[in-house]
Structure 1
Amino acid sequence: MENPDHINSYVILGGGTAGWMSAAILARALEHTDAQITVIESPHVPSVGVGEATIPSIIDLLNYLNISQIDFVSQTDATFKLAIRFVDWLKQGTEYWHPFGKIGSQIDGIPFYQHWLKQQKIDPSFEFTDFSPAVALSKQNKFFIPDPKNPTNLSSTSHALHFDASKVAQYLQKYCLNKNVNIITDHLVETDLSIEGNIKTLHLESGRQLDADFFIDCSGQKALLIGKALRVGYDSWQDFLPVDSAVAMQTEKLDIIPPYTLSTAAEHGWRWQIPLQNRTGNGYVYASDYCNNEEAIESLIKHACTNSKAITDPKVIKFVTGKRKKMWHRNCLSVGLSTGFLEPLESTSIYLIMRAMLNFVQVLPSKSICEPSIKEYNRLIDDEYNSIRDFIVLHYCVTQRKDTKFWRMWQNLSIPDSLSEKLALFKSHGRLYKNPSDLFSQDSWYAVLEGMKVRPTSYDPLVDRSNFNLIKQSFIQTKQALWFNASETLNHEDYLKRIKRARMVN
């Protein structure tokens, strides 16, 4: 016998990546129940469609949804992503890598970074990311998925995807249809609240009225439910992250498709390049205080079209970095841009959609609102946003660039106290406090800190108990072995061709 307090109907306002990913996760979680899920997709609101780079958690999501990675890659023009290559961030003419997976291995129970730090004082010829399998593969345009049955020194790598966001939304829509999700193509006009303050009825442009037990707001920055109807406020982080605009455009596919995202620091922000099988995504994220839209478009076209032809017109996107004061309020959950915005420097937007919904399905509500559950949910998502914010600020706040007003601004800009405390701890002996809610591993922090030449005054004293002569030899051998084994793997594009062949066979 069903519990009458269980939620029987969910309405998701908005399609796009956020709406269809939310619907897919909810449908998967509720597939053996009688709960009805309805997605309202407006014919008047185009999808932003620029969230095309991800982090390794996307593979976890495909596994959760029981989606074949081969099928997904083939149908979304996806490519593989092993790392982000950062160019000109420390100063012009420099570059570093933020790879996925592990960098080195613990030695005598101490992080590899600490031993590398001691080695730097004697022989600075080794870069920290020389010991990353993902970087060894990326630099040679190779790709490899570890086989648990045949471990090698490349096995500690992990990968994410680049994909066509519009095709991902279409793919997930088909997935949802197969899970009996209802689709309504209509536009929200007005929202009615109950006496208690819950969302009760959505009035649509067609004249239709729609009631539900629970609502998920995927209406983008307009936040029509969580913001407009329920009046939940928004915390701006513009003081910490002043960029507030982006221009995006697509160009023809690259001659050689690299297995990484390229992020290049520019005059008033930074540019991205995301390689897909059928085309290339390009964008320029900038601060409008220092650069107007026309200048940004001109700059993007100049760099994106140097060796490639444009296939779409530039599209300007405005945003306010920050987050909603509550992501879940009463009988409404906000997901995606209705929740907040963090610039796509570390490709976290898809992850935050996924995390919002996976956390939600672990604490599915009843018709009787449980404030302690809502409070704990909001705390966890808040922590996620705060930790990602700090990691993004790190890329800017330690720069040595002073060539434009934008970069000179960063020499004196305030940073979050949580980041300031983390940097202070690191600068003493290279130690990092691990926040359980921090998306990024210690190796990720080490990679960016070293890439931006932020070094501690000394290494961990416990390192001195290890046999350093043996460690020095292992450094040489490990670097050479990684490079050689990476060279023996398939080229990235050959791997993609193998994926296509495998799908045709299946």
Structure 2
Amino acid sequence: MQNSNAIQSFVIVGGGTAGWISAAILARNLPSQNVQITLIESPNVPTIGVGEATIPSMVDLLRYLKIPLDDFIQKTNATFKLGIEFTNWLTLDHKYWHPFGHVGNHIDGKPFYQHWLKHHLNDGSFQFCDFSPAVHLARQNRFFIQNTQQKTPLNDAAFALHFDATLVAEYLKQYCLKLGVKRVESHVCDVISDERGFISTLHLTHSNLKGASKQISADFFIDCSGQNALLIGKKLRIAYQNWQHFLPVDKAVVAQSKLGPNIPPYTKSIAEKSGWRWQIPLQNRMGNGYVFCSDFCSDEQAIEVLQNNVDNLLSEPRIIKFTTGKREKSWYKNCLAVGLSAGFLEPLESTGIYLIMKAMLNFIELMPDKTCPAHNTDEFNRLMDNEFINIRDFIVLHYCLSKRTDSAFWQMWQTLTIPAELKQKIQLFENFGRLYHNPQDLFAQDSWYAIYAGMGKNPNQYDPFIDFSNFPVIEKAFKQSYHLLLQSAAHAPMHNEFLQVNAEK
């Protein structure tokens, strides 16, 4: 017996990465003969284009959508990403890594970090990320995809992608069209709701639908209209929680430049006087940006910083404004906000695509009928609130541990109030290096350890149980492990070579 209230039609407002990922996940799960999916894409609206770096969940998404990795890489100018190299965040000229994958392995049932901490507190010479396979590959500009059937010291490395966001949107559009998604090129000029307050119909300025209809109705609407938030914000009036008191940066200047001879398999994040710069390598160019706080830096000064640090620009710098925060409810009645309409967290840890993907996967898990019962929407909003808060805390961690006082921006961070949840996590960590257990946290324990260790935040004492392990034997194993990782990485292909082989397949 079929549910007479089953949703039979979806309308997605907005294209770009958010719109086409949403459409792809819906189309992957809902047979086109039973459910109609329509995406309305405004003509000549440029994408923001800052989301060109990802985390390993992007590779998981491609597998989920059954998209061949090599085909995707070729058609989106993609490169591989093993992690992020952070420069000047703790102090000037200091560097550290946030790698993907595991760092070391549990020893005697205790986290590797605890054994490394004892090594460190006993004046050991190894850094925490010296035991990351991803870091060893990244330092040598090397990359390969591990054969899961063959055990090597590098198997614990994970990877993500850098890519051209515009090409990705086009790739996913073609994927969706083949699965029966309908595309309408038009602007939404009015939004109509019914007596329940549910959205019922969109009025369009024009339409390429058969019959030249200038309106479209559906059972459920997904708002991917970016910061305009046409449905969730302007029509349904769901308020936006401003988090700039926690993350004060509010603008970015972006530009593309020519690529050097070597393509690094990682993102670079370089702290500046009023924010930080990124470098994201693609196959055909380098993506550059300077994320800054307008309270301490004018647009003209930000452009100058970018131009002084980037050679061979291919495009004119452009300014992007944003407000860090999230919608009070991402899902309200029969409208789901995805992407920038749901919230924005600065791209420091490349989490924008993840939040799009996670919203849609959670929605699939909680798929409603036409009534959109409150318990469904409440659970979805609880899950997405946790995602945003966890990522927010992880980003704030990079700033609040800095020891820089060389500019007004960094001086502000010495006294800025941090979220209560993060303060609790730091206080727990200060006691024996223990981490707050949160199974819903996107970032695994090794990621938190990497930022703490990289930013010089180490407890004064390690877990007392570590003393039950044979310390001299572990110290010897540290040396062997480090040199084995170093040698194994040296035998991997150069990143450029690996991309070239992939392109020739």
Shorter-chain TM-score: which interval?
over 0.9
Kindly state the Cα deviation for residue 215 of structure 1 after the two structures are TM-superposed: 0.2
Match of residue 409, structure 2, among 406, 409, 412: 406
* Partner-residue secondary structure (3-state), 1:274: strand
Task: Determine the structure 2 residue equivalent to 1:100.
Answer: 100
1:252-267 equivalences under 5 Å are 252-267=258-273
Matches within 5 A, 1:268-287: 268-287=274-293
Cα-to-partner distance string for 1:132-170 (whole Å, 9 max, x where unaligned): 000000000110211111011110110000000000000
Cα displacement (A) at 1:266: 0.4
Hey, what's the Cα distance between the residues in 1 that align with 2:180 and 2:461? 59
Unaligned runs of 5+ in 2: 207-212
1:392 aligns with 2:398: no
In the TM superposition, residue 2 of structure 1 has moved relative to its aligned partner by: 3.6
Mapped pair 1:248 → 2:254? yes
**In 2, are the aligned partners of 1:254 and 1:275 still within 8 Å (CA)?**
no
CA distance in 1 between counterparts of 2:73 and 2:470 reads 46
1:219 equivalent in structure 2: 225
1 CA distance for matches of 2:214 and 2:268? Answer: 46
Query: 1:38 & 1:80 partners in 2: Cα distance?
Result: 32
For 2:163 and 2:45, locate their aligned partners in 1 and report how far apart those are by CA, in whole Å: 21
What are the Cα deviations for residues 21-62 of structure 1, in whole angstroms up to 9, with x where unaligned? 110111001136510000000014221122100000001100
Q: How does 1:57-456 map to 2 (within 5 A)?
A: 57-206=57-206, 208-305=214-311, 309-456=312-459
Name the SS for the 1:221 alignment partner. Answer: helix
Deviation at 1:121, TM superposition (A): 2.1
> How far does the alpha carbon of each residue in 1:300-353 deviate from its partner, in whole angstroms, 9 at most, with x for none?
111112xxx111111111001000000000000000000000000000001000
Contact 1:16–1:49 (Cα < 8 Å) also in 2: no
User: Is the contact made by 1:41 and 1:185 (CA closer than 8 Å) also made in structure 2?
Assistant: yes
Cα pair 2:118 2:462 within 8 Å, conserved: yes
Q: Which residue of 2 aligns with 1:474?
A: 477
Q: Tell me which amino acid in the other structure corresponds to 1:74.
A: Q
Q: CA–CA distance in 2 between the matches of 1:239 and 1:373?
A: 31
- Secondary structure in 2 aligned to 1:498? helix
Question: Counterpart of 1:355 in 2: which secondary structure?
Answer: helix
User: What count of residue pairs does the alignment treat as equivalent?
Assistant: 499
Q: Which has the larger displacement, 252-261 or 131-140? A: 252-261
Q: What whole-Å deviation, never above 9, does each CA across 1:378-398 have from its counterpart, x for those lacking one?
A: 000000000000000000001
**CA distance in structure 2 between the aligned counterparts of 1:31 and 1:476, rounded to whole angstroms:** 55
Contact in 2 for aligned 1:82/1:99 (Cα 8 Å): yes
C-alpha root-mean-square deviation of aligned residues, in Å? 0.9
- Tell me the distance in 2 between the aligned counterparts of 1:48 and 1:342: 14
Question: Deviation per CA, 1:267-298, whole angstroms, max 9, x where unpaired?
Answer: 10000000000111000000000111111111
2: CA distance, partners of 1:302 / 1:410: 25
Distance in 2, Cα, partners of 1:348 & 1:141? 23
**The residue matched to 1:429 in structure 2 has which SS?**
coil
Contact 2:32 2:179 in 1 (8 A): no
Kept in 2, the 8 Å contact 1:9–1:36? The answer is yes
Normalising by structure 1, report the TM-score: 0.98
In structure 1, distance between residues paired with 2:63 and 2:126 = 37
Q: For residue 291 of structure 1, what is the amino acid of its counterpart? A: C
Contact 2:54-2:351 at 8 Å conserved across structures: yes
Query: In structure 2, the residue corresponding to 1:216 is in which secondary structure?
Result: strand
**CA distance, structure 1, for counterparts of residue 352 and residue 260 of structure 2:** 24
CA distance in 1, matches of 2:410, 2:58: 33
Distance 2:502 2:333 in 1: 45
> Which residue identity does 1:87 align to in structure 2?
T
CA contact (8 A) 1:42 1:187 kept: yes
Do the aligned partners of 2:345 and 2:352 also contact (CA within 8 Å) in 1?
yes
- Supply the AA of the counterpart residue of 1:185: E
% of aligned pairs identical?
A: 55
TM-score normalised by length of structure 2: 0.98
